[in-house]
A and B are shown apart, each in its own frame.
Chain A
């Protein structure tokens, strides 16, 4: 992650607001469509709920009034509702971006996290099935 990005602290973590996924000039990357406070809230939700896999990557959502809202667009300009956060340096410095689980196998939320979303009533089990099998699904 290049220097010069805005950062904000959350517990022992530093969250980096990356410009790479905002105001895109080309479509090689997904793009946040929520503001930075909302992006940060999504990250904080992941931390609070421990939706983290292998200590350095996690998934989260944009939760408003108990529903999952759109948070960005994928590379094909379709709306998406899932974000991925990574601590790529494994130094508690996180950044994140919207993901479409069909575009990259590495962006698919881990099954363990999806199961937790089901157990908390955030998604239905049928929706988890569709995400895991990469069938189309609106959560």
Chain B
């Protein structure tokens, strides 16, 4: 596995790379929009043409040879001064203050704030519309414009976004918003078009019909019993479900395809080295699974190789497997954003 990191100076809170633009939400309630294409072209010109391909996801499974790299760079630093040259424009967030989180589907961008959920368009973020006054724990975008939102004790909400990009007058967005599961939810994600909702205080839900009924309960899916029931940490990655068993052990459950419509489950445990500290969170990515521990991010690649990234992070994110740029892991530190690209 080859990885290369682009370090961008600045205090950021969230990011998105889409349509050849780099969107950065800063700590002051602004969105800085940069020409990502130009950034990549100039860096590639300076350090090696492979960088452009690597960051665009077109070097997947290709070997990067030493001769492709000008010098010995695997870490490129962009200062604020360097970055300013690529600035297209700045916009204010809907509240003019730091947001909670964002996610996107096609040209739509969903902005989660303490004042509620807003929708806007990537090419015109000066305009936005409020969907609801409710804040959410997370926004998870599934296929065909389906969005699952974790609303704590209010349950799981679904928002249906238009599949085409023609609806720019926001009509119909609010009608596509509804409460579909009335059980506590801290986090939502998608498993094969099913919503997976996990909670710190209730049993998680894997529900093919996205209704209130628990179709598959914890006892059916997991083989081992968790020792830390209260602090449930669980997430999914395509056909795998992960759950923290104790401070340094995960259970990985693979959902097996079967001829009938029932799901079958196969389980194994993963043990983490002590220096990494307690397992805090995790998420799926195109190239594998990312596990956040107290003292490190651990990337478990699909080929089962592991990369440890030591240090305490502010936030981190990797976009969905079917999207462009899905081979990039973005890690926000106190004073920089690090975008690491893999040729997985």
Contact = CB atoms under 8 A, between A and B. Distances in A.
Interface string A109-139: 0111001000000001110111011111100
A102 interface: yes
B185 to A, nearest CB: 9
Given A110-B114, A115-B98, A134 B187 contact: yes
Contact of B332 (A112, A129, A135, A137): A129
Given A103-B201, A105-B151, A133 B101 contact: yes
A106 B230 CA distance: 20
B153 A112 contact: no
A16 B201 CA distance: 29
A104 interface: yes
A116 to B, nearest CB: 10
A111 B98 contact: yes
B135 interface: yes
A105 B136 contact: yes
Contacts of A135: 280-281, 292
Q: Report the interface size class on chain A.
A: 20 to 34
Q: Report the interface size class on chain B.
A: 35 or more
Given A102-B200, A105-B151, A111-B97, A136 B231 contact: yes
Interface string B181-225: 000001100000000000011000000000000000000000000
B114 A125 contact: no
B233 A136 contact: yes
B186 A102 contact: yes
A48 interface: no
A12 interface: no
Given A115-B27, A136-B233, A106 B152 contact: yes
A53 B116 CA distance: 13
12 contacts: A53-B114, A102-B186, A102-B200, A105-B134, A105-B136, A106-B152, A112-B98, A115-B97, A126-B334, A128-B314, A129-B315, A130-B280
**Nearest 10 pairs of A and B residues by beta carbon:** A105-B152, A129-B314, A110-B114, A129-B315, A135-B281, A102-B200, A126-B312, A125-B314, A126-B314, A76-B230
Given A106-B135, A111-B97, 9 more contacts: A104-B153, A105-B151, A105-B153, A111-B98, A111-B100, A111-B114, A125-B334, A136-B280, A137-B280
